[in-house]
Amino acid sequence: MQDKDTTQSTFTQVFQPFFSKDLWKKIDQGVPNFDQRNYKLKTNQLTLLISHAQLQEYKALRKISSNVQSNDFSEAIGLESISHSQISRRLRTLPIKVSEMLFKGVLNKVAQKKGDGKIQQRLGKLYMIDASVISLCLSRFPWAVFRKTKAGVKMHLRLSFDEMAIPDEVIITPAKTADRKKLDELIVVDKDALTIFDRGYIDYLLFDEYCEKEIRFVTRLKNNAVIEFTGVERPVEEEGSIEEDVDIILGTGTRPFAK
């Protein structure tokens, strides 16, 4: 069982980037006076509080509030107590740009520690794109209407795989936004990169452009995809996992083929 000092030390090490004075100084320059009147709960404390709650899978603000009463956790984040209503109010008033700058600042620190090494394998450097819908209360977020009784936003996330998975780009849109409309902003154009994404991002016109520019990608096909074989075929290993390696012209039944 961990003692008090070990608990504080572990927490501080895990969230060390959030304690960086230089990072918060840059955020203050980008969003002047964002913390000016927040005497009870500073933004860096709020960030630690919510990050810890996410890791603990707390479902309600009251649970987050009561957990602050823990001496170890309270001392680690420098907060004696906080009510659930105060947490709610701070979350409502937190400028989005602060969260964006914090994400990119921590990401830069991770990149500095990892360096620019490439994956030493035939596939090159791997990236993965996926989207998740975050449900919201319709009465509180009418601008984000998603369905008749639900609101929501969609988080488009790109992960970089180099020994470990690291998020390196994120785009937030209304939940109704089609995934494919954000593909061009997330695709990695480096020649040694391979981007993997699901069929929600399929856009045949963009695929034409990517092929012409030698931008590499992998995706799943939709059930209505139309395939025309070109006759170009390459041998594959009999015991390998690849069943067929051929060149095709790809499209759907409702529009001209895309190469």
Q: Tens digits of per-residue pLDDT, 192-249? A: 899 999 999 999 899 999 999 999 999 988 888 888 888 888 998 888 778 888 888 8
User: What is the end-to-end Cα distance of the chain in Å, rounded?
Assistant: 60
The confidence score (pLDDT) of residue 163 equals: 66
* Distances in whole angstroms, Cα of residue 145 to Cα of each of 88, 161, 171, 220: 21, 34, 18, 29
Percent with pLDDT over 90 in the chain: 21
Q: Tens digits of per-residue pLDDT, 144-170? A: 888 888 889 999 999 988 766 788 889
The confidence score (pLDDT) of residue 153 equals: 92
Q: Mutual orientation of helices 21-30 and 43-56 as an angle, nearest 10°?
A: 110
Q: Tens digits of per-residue pLDDT, 50-73? A: 888 888 888 888 888 888 876 677
Cβ 40 vs Cβ 52: under 8 Å: no
Cβ 94 vs Cβ 37: under 8 Å: no
Highest mean pLDDT among 9-13, 29-33, 52-56, 207-211: 207-211
Tokens 């919510």 locate to: 50
The confidence score (pLDDT) of residue 258 equals: 52
